[in-house]
Amino acid sequence: MNLPSRENAFDLSGQTALITGGGTGLGFGMARCLVAAGASVVLVGRRERELAAACAALGPRAHALPGDVTQLAGVPALVDAAEKLAGPLTLLVNNAGVHLKKPATQTTDAEFAAVLGTHVFGAFALTREVGRRMMERRAGCVLFTASMTAFIGMPSVVAYAAAKSAYLGMLRTLATEWGPQGVRVNGIAPGWIASEMLDRALAGDPARKTKILARTPLARFGEPDDIGWAAVYLASPAAKFVSGVVLPIDGGAVDSF
């Protein structure tokens, strides 16, 4: 058995990752850590300016690829373009998504479908295309960015929680189906992570911030790099026997509910 050495257990040199929603937030945090571990990254998103800025910050092993995963018919061409930019994909990070905070009785069918369209249909179409290529090469890793809302009940996020819960079934099924072909499939479930989005959500609501921190045993918010280093682990040789799992990165919040 070829065991990774201490020096290369987390080394991603020669690996190529496609990260949806990689220009900002958690996607950029994961990209930053993957690049630091030696990987090349292709950042996919709809906002070209943010993608260009992210790639400038990450350096020469980062590539911008404007694209929309909800345009399902264009997914094969998107993957072709990514592999032309950076070579065969060895890692896919399904991170693109939209958030909707609205009481269930006020959530329309169109709004519900729009959230699932990005998180579920878009991610599945992309995963199916990338996974087919990974299985042909008999190697690869897929990561889904899930959420603590897939484990605990939270009000006013019914569409988002449904989409993230769908990830759990999808990744476990794919891990079982694709494992014999050398493809590992896992998920990361972030808790409350410091970001511009969280700042906006908590602006002017100190009581909510206090409540969140009280429910988090580590009594602080996480940082994007906390998610990024978890992605590095799951993509690395150190996790070569890890598949079908969802790793909460939440300061212990899920287990404290």
Its domain, for residue 128, covers 16-249
Residue 120, SS3 per DSSP: helix
Confidence band, pLDDT 50/70/90 cuts, at residue 120: very high
Long-range contacts of 119-122 (CB under 8 A, 24+ apart): 119/160, 119/163, 119/164, 119/166, 119/167, 120/163, 120/166, 120/167, 120/170, 121/70, 121/72, 122/20, 122/69, 122/70, 122/72, 122/96
What pLDDT does 76 receive?
A: 98
Is residue 219 assigned to a domain?
Answer: yes
Residue entry with tokens 């799992």: 245
Catalytic residue among 28, 124, 144, 160: 160
Residue at 201: amino acid letter: A
Pairwise pLDDT comparison (110 vs 196), residue with the higher score = 110
Residue 200 has pLDDT above 80, yes or no: no
Establish if 97 belongs to a structural domain. yes
Alpha-carbon torsion angle 151, 100, 166, 227, nearest 10: -60
- Closest by CA position to 129, among listed 183, 63, 187: 183
Q: What is the CATH number of the domain that holds 185?
A: 3.40.50.720
pLDDT band at 201 (very low <50, low <70, confident <90, very high): confident
**Which helix (H) or strand (E) is 91 found in, with range?**
strand 91-94
Instruction: Write out pLDDT tens, residues 70-109.
Output: 999 999 999 999 999 999 999 999 999 888 889 999 999 9
User: In angstroms, how far apart are the furthest CA atoms of the chain?
Assistant: 56
pLDDT value of residue 3:
66
Helices within 140-195 (DSSP H only): 158-178
Angle at CA of residue 151, ends 201 and 235, nearest 5°:
90
Whether residue 132 is predicted with pLDDT greater than 90 in this model: the reply is yes
201 within domain boundaries: yes
How much is the pLDDT for 165? 97
Residue 189 identity: A
Q: What is the pLDDT of residue 13?
A: 97
pLDDT tens per residue, range 138-197: 999 999 999 999 999 988 999 999 999 999 999 999 999 999 999 999 999 999 998 877
pLDDT tens digits for range 216-233: 999 999 999 999 999 999
Question: Per-residue confidence at 257, pLDDT binned at 50, 70, 90?
Answer: low
Please report whether residue 239 resides in a domain.
yes
Q: In what order do the strands lie in the sheet with 62-66?
A: 62-66, 40-45, 16-20, 91-94, 140-145, 183-190, 246-249
Residue 2 has pLDDT above 80, yes or no: no
Report residue 99 as tokens: 């958030």
Cα atoms in the 13 Å half-sphere on the side-chain side of 94: 35
Helix H or strand E segment including 4: none
**How far from chain centre, in Å, is Cα 192?**
15
Q: How does pLDDT run across 32-61, given as a tens digit for each residue? A: 999 999 999 999 999 999 999 999 999 999
Question: Beta strands 16-20 and 40-45: pairing type?
Answer: parallel
Q: Is residue 1 a part of any domain in this protein?
A: no
How many structural domains does the chain have? 1
pLDDT (0 to 100) of residue 1? 53
Is residue 160 part of the annotated active site? The answer reads: yes
What distance in Å separates the CA atoms of residue 105 and residue 143, rounded to the nearest whole number? 32
**pLDDT score for 238:** 97
Asked if residue 256 is part of any domain, the answer here is no
Q: Is residue 2 part of a domain?
A: no
Structural domain includes residue 257: no
